[in-house]
Chains A and B, each alone.
Chain A
Amino acid sequence: MVELKTPLDDRAVAALSAGDRVLITGHLYTARDAAHERLVKALEAGQRLPFDLAGQIIYYVGPSPAKPGRVIGSAGPTTSGRMDPYTPALLERGLKGMIGKGSRSAAVREALKKYNAVYFAAVGGAAALITKCIVGCELVAYEDLGPEAIRRLRVERFPVVVINDARGGDLYEEGLRQYSQAGPA
């Protein structure tokens, strides 16, 4: 088990390998489809982003609303592939990690190598459990997007697994290599 603190530095990222189990403490920024579209539009228009990407981790999540007295509702990962078209531009600006579930495009995997960044998965659908590690939540931008707004989460020992490391390692491919008994597709 690896313990990581945000913001991530290049050395810590380079030391991670596909399959590593990691506990993250610090801050995560939430963003999914609609927020990504706005972030990349802002970049293209040369505008400032609502937060500094350098060393940060984006968590692909649209939480359910918090019940009274709670920090946040259920907050598990959403499918990452939908964010693929926007991701290389964010990595180029210093984003160091993403948390989601499911496979990434070849372009994203290349960009991870190029910019020394990492893609983690959290357990999809274990939202009530994951939520226990979220101790703070504040709105950052795009409130009108409801569950898709950008929020800053404070997390303590938030459990993830490295899927794609910065050297081209891929846990999904390794898993298939090890366990597949089916013929080629």
Chain B
Amino acid sequence: MREVDVSLVTAAVDKLCRSANEVLGEDVLQALRAALDSEESPAGREVIGQLLENARIAREEGEPMCQDTGLAVVFLEVGQEVRLVGGDIEAAVNEGVRRGYVGGFLRKSAVKDPLDRKNTGDNTPAIIHTRIVPGDRVRVVVAPKGGGAENMSALRMLTPADGRDGVKAFVVDVVRRAGPNPCPPVVVGVGLGGTFEKAALLAKEALLRPLGQHHPDPAVAALERDLLTEINRLGIGPQGFGGRVTALWVSVLTYACHIASLPVAVNVNCHAHRHAEAVV
């Protein structure tokens, strides 16, 4: 067994909250540069130019790229040969979020109770997803998620007869109805299969795959291509001003499901497509 002190996880989460919010990934920058070439609408091209400029300022000046620095979604992959010592792991993650958001001048966007709605003041609690995996390392991914795009996400329990066409129609419709609200160009994560909650988690995890990288299964990759093409026929365009680039990328993850079910979850993310990771 390898002992890992949870304070190392706190330190990692603290750093990742800041870097995820200030530094846009090279894959997203590349997708934006490609969009600058493929966008026909002048207003759309102007928007994409501003997003690239915004990313540069955020990185160079250490400002958050968007004022909505999100809820902190934290994925932990804990190696089964790791023994976590020094305290409660979830408390350690939350302490990292607290330090990152308070010390890093990030916005506190968490309310304690969904109906009472008092701000917790330090952006905790994080949304934590933990998996036990082989090995003796702890992988930590922080994916800040803004409200504007998250609010446009949706899940539906389709029936097997709906099939591939039904899935496509639902995903495209979610993006159509979102329109300008989630700050297009968007990135679309799709979870297909599993159960109600598994589909939602798959959709979120799909957003962690680098843009430009298709699913290894050719059939799923083909679905990703089709979805991207259809979404970009909608004409919503950057910021909804009209144009070709409504989505930068569509990423699909699938899982086995019940003989009676075809769950499909669509997690919409904005161009501020943030995640950062570290291995402890």
A residues lining the B interface (CB < 8 Å): 19, 34, 61-67, 73-76, 78-79, 81, 101-103, 121, 123-129, 131-132, 145-147, 161, 171-172, 174-182, 185
Contacts and interface: CB of A to CB of B under 8 A. Distances in A.
B235 interface: yes
Contacts of B64: 64, 73-74, 127-128
A101 B67 CA distance: 13
Given A74-B64, A128-B61, A181-B233, 7 more contacts: A61-B67, A64-B107, A125-B65, A147-B107, A175-B241, A178-B242, A179-B41
Contacts of B159: none
Contact of A63 (B54, B61, B67): B67
A62 B67 contact: yes
B106 interface: yes
B180 A121 contact: yes
Contacts, number: 165
A179 B244 contact: yes
Contact of B239 (A64, A66, A124, A129): A124
A129 B181 contact: no
A100 B47 CA distance: 15
Given A66-B105, A73-B105, A178-B235, A125 B241 contact: no
A124 B148 contact: yes
Given A103-B179, A128-B58, A65 B47 contact: no
A34 B66 CA distance: 20
Contact of B180 (A19, A34, A172): A172
A101 B242 contact: no
Contacts of B148: 78-79, 101-102, 124
Interface of B is mostly: loop
A160 to B, nearest CB: 11
7 contacts: A101-B183, A129-B57, A174-B242, A175-B43, A175-B240, A181-B235, A182-B234
Interface hub of A62, A129, A172, A175 (most chain B Cβ within 10 A): A175
Interface string B74-110: 0000000000000000000000000000000111110
Contacts of B68: 62, 76, 78
A176 B177 CA distance: 12
Interface in B94-148: 105-109, 117, 119, 121, 147-148
A182 B230 CA distance: 8
B233 A125 contact: no
B211 interface: no
Contacts of A161: 43, 239, 241
B226 interface: no
A175 B237 CA distance: 8
B239 A101 contact: yes
A72 B74 CA distance: 28
Contacts of B271: 125
Contacts of A78: 67-68, 147-148
Nearest to A176: B235
B173 A185 contact: yes
Nearest to A75: B67
A6 B41 CA distance: 30
A121 B240 CA distance: 10
A121 B148 CA distance: 14
Given A129-B50, A175-B237, A74 B65 contact: yes
A179 B54 CA distance: 26
B37 to A, nearest CB: 17
B239 A67 contact: no
Contacts of B243: 175, 179
A111 to B, nearest CB: 19
